[in-house]
């Protein structure tokens, strides 16, 4: 069984989608750890409800990124984590985690990368007026939303769509694309 650590800072709808895919048997893995850098993030309660161990860790309590990530790494090792799955984790990874999990860290981003990297990708795409939007799953490197692209899915935006409707569509795609992409990758590696 493949052990996943999900890294998240917010709502956790992707965390839920991954867990649901695990429960319905479409993703052959288990989430053994949630790493969250925001003590009030809603994702924490989602993990607790599923009895998944949670590491709530505030980077401001550490003198360096290395110390902060070393603490995370210790927990990942304890739980025998083999993949780091970033889902709304609002931080760049440093050498400590990148070096410990080469080619085993992925992220989901709500745009068709390399367009609209960084915060509020959906807002950026709306402001630009693009007619095709989408979602990207990619390997993580030291850059913001960089790293090799693993999968993408696009959709056409009608001119009368509200931001809320666009967000709903993005999330629908994310929630099926993330578990599907991960499962395909795990199968390829067998």
Shortest Å, Cβ 85 to ligand GRF: 11
Report the residue count for the chain.
190
Count, residues near ligand GRF per rule CB under 6 A = 13
Q: Which of residues 78-117 bind ligand GRF (CB under 6 A)?
A: 87-88, 108-110
CB of 110 to ligand GRF, least distance (A): 4
Nearer to ligand GRF, 77 or 91 (CB): 91
Interface with ligand GRF, residue 14, by CB under 6 A: yes
Q: Per CB under 6 A, does 8 bind ligand GRF? A: yes
Identify whether the C-beta of residue 15 lies closer than 8 Å to the C-beta of residue 6. yes
Is 10 an interacting residue with respect to ligand GRF (CB under 6 A)? yes
User: What is the number of the residue whose Cβ is closest to ligand GRF?
Assistant: 88
Strand order in the sheet with 105-109: 54-56, 29-36, 2-8, 83-86, 105-109, 132-139, 149-156
Q: Is 155 helix (H, G, I), strand (E, B) or coil?
A: strand
C-alpha pair distances (Å), 45 with each of 15, 19, 106, 157: 11, 14, 23, 33
Distance CA 118, CA 22 (A): 29
Contact 98, 142 (CB under 8 A): yes
Q: Assess 29 for contact with ligand GRF (CB under 6 A).
A: no
Give the residue numbers annotated as catalytic, written as ranges.
109
**Residue 179 is a binding residue for ligand GRF (CB under 6 A):** no
Smallest distance, ligand GRF to C-beta of residue 190, A: 27
Residues that bind ligand GRF (CB under 6 A): 8, 10-15, 87-88, 108-110, 174
């Amino acid at each position: 069984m493949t052990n996943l650590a999900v890294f998240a800072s917010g709502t956790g709808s992707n965390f839920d989608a991954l867990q649901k895919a695990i429960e319905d048997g479409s993703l052959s893995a288990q989430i053994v750890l949630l790493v969250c850098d925001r003590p009030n993030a809603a994702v924490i309660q989602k993990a607790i409800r599923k009895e998944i161990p949670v590491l709530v860790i505030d980077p401001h309590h550490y003198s360096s990124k290395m110390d902060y990530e070393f603490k995370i790494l210790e927990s990942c090792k304890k739980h025998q984590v083999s993949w780091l799955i970033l889902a709304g984790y609002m931080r760049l990874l440093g050498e400590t985690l990148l070096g410990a999990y080469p080619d085993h860290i992925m992220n989901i981003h709500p745009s068709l990368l390399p367009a609209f990297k960084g915060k509020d990708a959906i807002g950026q795409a709306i402001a630009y007026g693009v007619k095709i939007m989408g979602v990207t799953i990619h390997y993580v490197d030291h850059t913001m939303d960089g790293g090799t692209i693993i999968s993408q899915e696009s959709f056409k935006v009608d001119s009368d769509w509200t931001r809320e409707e666009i967000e709903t569509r993005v999330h629908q795609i994310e929630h099926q694309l993330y578990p599907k992409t991960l499962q395909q990758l795990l199968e390829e590696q067998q």
